[in-house]
Structure 1
């Protein structure tokens, strides 16, 4: 059966090439049919053809689960998260029972305005503690340094230290979110999902399947659909300074339905996915009189090109009623091509319908010439 399917794919491809010479007026100069035939057959030897049946549906589901497991990262841990101070952060410092070391609150001023900003050299200056290195330290580490400094002039100082302006570290959310934002990294752990929510969530035109996550000039694909639909927390990330989250549009999330269907065209894959049955339904279904129900193909390019296989071709035998159930379970992927072939008799009828007007036109010209000769 698979051997027959591969021959059918070869025949369909060659029909397109040979059609240039079969149909009058459509010959393309410079095309060597025999050379194209040889090249095409060589390329198709690297194509994997499968029949869409229950076994294939189960196999694809298992491979998807295996892929998800292989791509899993260690779940993020926020219990031991500790904010690291940086240049530009603003600190509020106070010492109990020593009002002279505490800036009093003012109605017209904010804590950030009156605070101690970490300077460009990474230090702060406080009473009895000049040019104290602060950048790169946690609050607890800086607290210990200041207590040690103040202990030289104050007995057992009780120091209150906190960040009132998180200015040194930011993460960026761009693309198809409702409010593209620059989000500060603060003492409260910020995750990728948190950032998307703070940016207002995904827009209507957003790709709900994946987002691009860039850190240190390296970009990876985060499958947020696995997080939302399967609870895969490994797809989340704890954000750091400079991280970029970019949400793509759905423009590239399309499949193309071609061939003998009511209305060929492209269909966008929404956040809920798209099955083969839905795609065929959205284009009006197969042409009942001319389409080959056993010639429904899905062409899918392989990204990894493993074992020299450049593409997978899946064939659906739609004459079987059960096939529609399988088609509903067969999930399409972005850039898939669904092609419905024409029944052999219909192809012949179309060829004849194209030849007849040409023959009639030639006969008319011949008749006119003959009449002209008579007169």
Structure 2
């Protein structure tokens, strides 16, 4: 036993003398170049106060394939050319008052046919018809209300009934010593008229004659009513500044209304407040416009989808290229280095766009070796940012023997080129010393034994 201790002591002296000794890495304050600061809540705030801006990902990782100038398609929808036809409320019935203007009065423009007795023999006199035909003459009532008769002169007859006109002519013939045998009739009625328009087959002007002109007769003279809209059509009568209205349905149902008498100056207009043809044309146009908009939207969506697909392909290619650059280490990155009693000595890449903590860097690389590491000797070594002191190193010391202190590791932010160091346990150091020099002792002891 004493021989073994002697051999061990000799071996240690021999290894030391030969310069072969195990050197344990540690952090110590030397020559003012290294300062060790305990990691506390306050010192973490100081450490995190250093200026640092994480590297950013390229903009292609934040871009999307949408956007653009909006839907294009076939362009703007053309404006509607037709107005919407709104259905009116129930039509009001406003009948014109009954009128009886009396006998027909001759007016300017009427053509009168005057037949006088022609002198001749008895046979001719007996043939009164032939004599009357030979002496029939038409006269137009001129603008002064008179007709001009040869050998008689101008006779005022405007405003007179046919009977009164005959009396006036008789008096004029007698005064001019002409045989007052004659007959008088109205050949053309031009002075009194009723106008008809609107939804009729043939807008016209109907004359007022000796026979009273009724509403149905006037409409028949205009070719009848020409509208498909029976519900909202009406017959409007304008007389002496007043507008009367007869709904078409009421007109068709009431014979007495159909026989309403018209007088000179009446204006009849068949109107509809809801024109079916225009309404149908309006809705056909709206359907066409809707189809146009739908087609344009589909076309625009197809164009947009194609454009988005192309953009996505370009963005994806740019992102893949960047990932390939990272894979081949062709991108400038910031690193933190791990050494000492960690499971895997390596470098930890600081992430893009955000900071990383001591805990992130440590446990992203499997942490430290529980059986060999000394958790009370965990350091973050950081170079001095102070100008003129490039050799100054600050060692932030975390005593991890108290597990609660590891909460500080989640708040301690890493900076580029930080070094995380975990010292070994004393027993680990001793074991490694033994592992290093025992083979040399055995070799040395064997050599001494041989001697």
TM-score range for the pair, normalised by the shorter chain length: 0.3 to 0.5
Larger RCO (alpha carbons 8 Å, 6+ apart)? 2
TM-score (norm 1): 0.42
Q: Answer with 1 or 2: which has the greater Rg.
A: 2
